[in-house]
Each structure stands twice: as structure tokens, then as C-alpha cells.
Structure 1
């Protein structure tokens, strides 16, 4: 029996769910805060994420509830984990919850990925807010 684990993080963002949803599901926006890829919020859509030094990771969307939940298999054939984003309205903003599950701690790769991503995700989530603020500033200044 394998020992699997989940990374859980959450971040309160000063943007409504529609804006946060766009940051998670629009490739140009996602590339500004995390990784370039051809994501689409359509169940069954297969896409890749360019994880720089970690290579291109194959993914498949498995659940979509617009502006509420997005889940996809991540690093198929390598880690075989699942990333699930849940958006909860909170005041004028959004509480974003991340569950990255299925890390197999019985394998060296699974253990290393769990430890690395466990420290990495808390640093990545705040970049969503920063990216959306930069876009808002550009729009306010009349740029694209």
C-alpha cells in the first residue's frame, strides 16, 4: 500500500472570483504568475505546463465548476498527482484554496516533489494577487 499525501494552501485575494478564475484558466494570465501552458476549463482537455527546469508536464482537466472549482491531473506518467483549485467569495475578494494531492511518498520522486512543492506552493499563490494587480494597473493606465 502506498503512502499518499496532499499539500493544502490557501490565500485571500483582493479580487472577485471571476478575476481569480481568469488567472487560473486563461493561459496568458496563468503564465504571468505560475507557468505557461494551454489550459482550458473544459473537462477532458489535455494540456501541458512548461515547468522550466522540471520540463513540460502533461495535464488533463477532470472537474470544472466555473468560478468555483477547477481540478486537473498533473504530471501524468511522472507524478500522477491532482491539482484542485477552489474559489470561495469572501467580502469583496476570494479565498483561494489549493489541494495538490496524490503524492506517493513511497517513491523517491514522490517524496522529493511533495517536499519541494510543499515549500513552493505557499510562495506561488501570492503571485496571483500581484499579477492581477499589475494587470489592473496597466488597464487603469490605458495599457494592455
Structure 2
């Protein structure tokens, strides 16, 4: 499920997916660089507040990031594409039965900027596919 909210200067994408895996397994996929590279992008992601890393976004280049919040197996947030897109990704894990409901919130798109609008429109359609790849990587 994807939900989008817009205001002129700040748009947010929210996407969620139920994964039939324990929060520990989902957390590892979000925070282990080798697993992360399998479903989204290569980069030295680590669940440590203040940790700076880059994500290799292929044609979109190396995107600088900084971890801003961590609650083990519950929440990981980081600034994404600092200096260009300047958005924030927040991954929230909710235990549900024997699985996990993963909620992604991608916030801070500047719709007044051509880059911000293009990224918002592309990622609004792209995030569900990325979460499908995450589900595949966990299998």
C-alpha cells in the first residue's frame, strides 16, 4: 500500500508491506550492507546515530546519507541525498503475528523544485517495487 501527501514545498510518500518474517530478520535486511545491496542499493549502512554513508544509486550516483534515529528492530531513520534531494527515510517495524509490518516514510520532497518533483513522482511509483525486492531477499 502506498499513500502520498503533498503540500507545495514538502511532500511525503508512505509505503507499507507485511513481511512473513520476524522483526530481527527485517532489521538485518535494513542494516546489513551485504543484504541491503541485494534488494536496494550498495552502501555502508549501519544502525548508529550520526553514521555517515553513501548509497550507490546507479544512474543517480552516490547519495550521501546520515543516520538520525535508531531504535533496534523498531526504527531506522536517515537523511537521504544530502545536498541535492535532502529528504528523510524512516523505516518503522511493527511486529504482527509471526511477521512484521514494515512502514517506509520518505519525507521532505520539495515539489517546487524540478528535481524534487521528479524524484517524488518516480519514488512514489518505485518504492512498492523496492519493498517487493526486500521481500524476495528475505525468502
Q: Same fold (TM over 0.5)?
A: yes
CA distance, structure 2, for counterparts of residue 43 and residue 33 of structure 1:
23
Specify the SS of the correspondent of 1:83.
Answer: strand
CA distance, structure 2, for counterparts of residue 58 and residue 129 of structure 1:
25
Q: Does residue 1:109 correspond to 2:127, yes or no?
A: no
Q: Does residue 1:23 correspond to 2:29, yes or no?
A: yes
CA distance, structure 1, for counterparts of residue 69 and residue 123 of structure 2:
22
Specify the SS of the correspondent of 2:46.
Answer: coil
Q: Does residue 1:65 correspond to 2:78, yes or no?
A: no
CA distance, structure 1, for counterparts of residue 118 and residue 136 of structure 2:
28
User: How many residues are aligned here?
Assistant: 133
Map residues 48-127 of structure 1 onto 2, 5 A cutoff: 48-127=54-133
Name the residue aligned to 2:3. Answer: none
**Bigger share in helix:** 1
Specify the SS of the correspondent of 2:53.
Answer: strand
- Identify unmatched segments of 5+ residues in structure 1: 134-144
- Identify unmatched segments of 5+ residues in structure 2: 1-6
Between 43-52 and 121-130, report the one with greater CA deviation. 121-130
From the CA coordinates, give the structure whose radius of gyration is larger: 1
Give the Å deviation of 1:129: 1.3
Q: Does residue 1:4 correspond to 2:10, yes or no?
A: yes
Q: Does residue 1:37 correspond to 2:43, yes or no?
A: yes
Per the normalisation by structure 2, the TM-score is 0.94
1:43-68 deviations in Å (ceiling 9; x for gaps) = 00000000000000000000000000
Between 121-130 and 39-48, report the one with greater CA deviation. 121-130
